[in-house]
Amino acid sequence: MSDLVSATELHDLLAGEAPVRVIDVRWRLDRPEAGHADYLTGHIPGAVFAALDTELSTHGEPDAGRHPLPSTATLQAAARRWGVREGDTVVAYDDTKGLAAARAWWLLRQAGVPVRVLDGGLRAWTAAGYGTATDDVIPEPGDVVLDEIGDDALTIDEAAAFPESGVLLDVRAPERYRGETEPLDPVAGHIPGAINLPTGLHLDADGRVLDRDTVLATLEGVGVTRGTPVAAYCGSGVTAAHTALVLHEVGIDARVFPGSWSQWSNTPGRPVATGDQPG
């Protein structure tokens, strides 16, 4: 079964008997504090707001990156606050083409929770003619018990060595990869050996993941085929999770470097490459 779900499929799931918990992972890089306010302007009925900055990540020193992994205990407390019970399926969505929702997918699947992402996000839901609600949903607390997370995460040293044995994908915009601009971090450029493949290349104009053959052809163009060891990083470990989701959909497992460029560029002594070539 695909880990992506269409708006119609989600509507049918919510009308069925199987327990489904929908979480709204509204978050934007340019205004990360506005997610809950956006949620209150209109969300899928019954959806609970999930805070990316405090529930799907934690905070630390700059050399830990902007979105370090939460502890398993923190994630479990969040999932219980969302009302997730043992046996529930979680469906995550956002209004940014699945980029934030994929962070929830990446973490929860490590924790043993069945989780899917709404393909096309909130736009797909409203385009299908389904209504929204403006209440602040506070469900009865859940009882889910999570497995330990972190096995799919690369450390900074593992990320540095990864190009020697596999393909390390930098999924940021090309100009950030090349080092022409860096709006958030202290140094511009990319990890030596990384190959640029912006995650947006896997999406259509409506934010839906492209068909399997198109995605596989794009991946083959940068040397990624089935059996290739592959890992992804971005600015702070959010967008890279979306690339991991896309690869999962076409049968390729990918690890994520959650510290990403925010950790690399804040760690003294780490080399930096610039330009179009991996370096």
pTM: 0.96
- pLDDT band of residue 34 (cuts 50, 70, 90) is confident
The whole domain housing 63 covers 4-127
Same-domain status, 169 and 55: no
Residues 112 and 164 occupy one common structural domain: no
End-to-end CA distance of the chain: 39
Q: For residues 148 and 88, is the Cβ–Cβ distance under 8 A? A: no
Mark whether 215 and 112 lie in a shared domain: no
pLDDT of residue 235: 96
**Same domain as 250, residue 166:** yes
Q: Encode pLDDT of 224-260 as tens digits.
A: 999 999 999 999 999 999 999 999 999 999 999 999 9
Tell me: pLDDT of 51 over 80.
yes
End residue of a domain, out of 127, 142, 173: 127
Query: Does residue 254 belong to any structural domain of this protein?
Result: yes
Q: What percent of the chain has pLDDT over 70?
A: 100
Q: How far is the C-alpha of 89 from the C-alpha of 146, rounded, in Å? A: 13
pLDDT tens-digit map of 124-133: 999 999 999 9
What is the torsional sign of CA 134, 138, 142, 144? positive
Q: How far apart are CA 172 and CA 233, in angstroms?
A: 8
Instruction: Give buried/exposed letters for 167-181 (b at 16+ CB in 10 A, else e).
Output: bbbbbbbeebbbbee
Residue 62 lies in a domain: yes
| Residue 241, token pair as written in the block | 């999770």
The structure tokens 């923190």 sit at 74
pLDDT score for 59 = 84
The total of structural domains in the chain comes to: 2
Residues 58 and 99 occupy one common structural domain: yes
Q: What pLDDT does 174 receive?
A: 97
Nearest to 156 by CA among 279, 273, 269, 29: 269
Mean pLDDT of the chain: 96
Q: Is 277 a catalytic residue?
A: no
Same domain assignment for residues 120 and 12: yes
Output the pLDDT for position 18: 85
Residue 44 shares a structural domain with residue 92:
yes
Please tell me whether residues 171 and 254 are part of one structural domain: yes
In a domain, 217, yes or no: yes
Identify the residue with better confidence: 30 or 143. Answer: 143
Residue 97: inside a domain: yes
Please identify, among 73, 106, 127, the residue that sits at the C-terminal boundary of a domain.
Answer: 127
Claim to verify: residue 118 and residue 171 sit in the same structural domain: no
Buried-exposed string 82-111: b where 16+ CB fall within 10 A, e elsewhere: bbbeeebbbbbbbbbbbbbbbbbbbbbbbb
Residue 11 belongs to domain with CATH number = 3.40.250.10
Q: Which of 203, 234, 250, 256 is catalytic?
A: 234
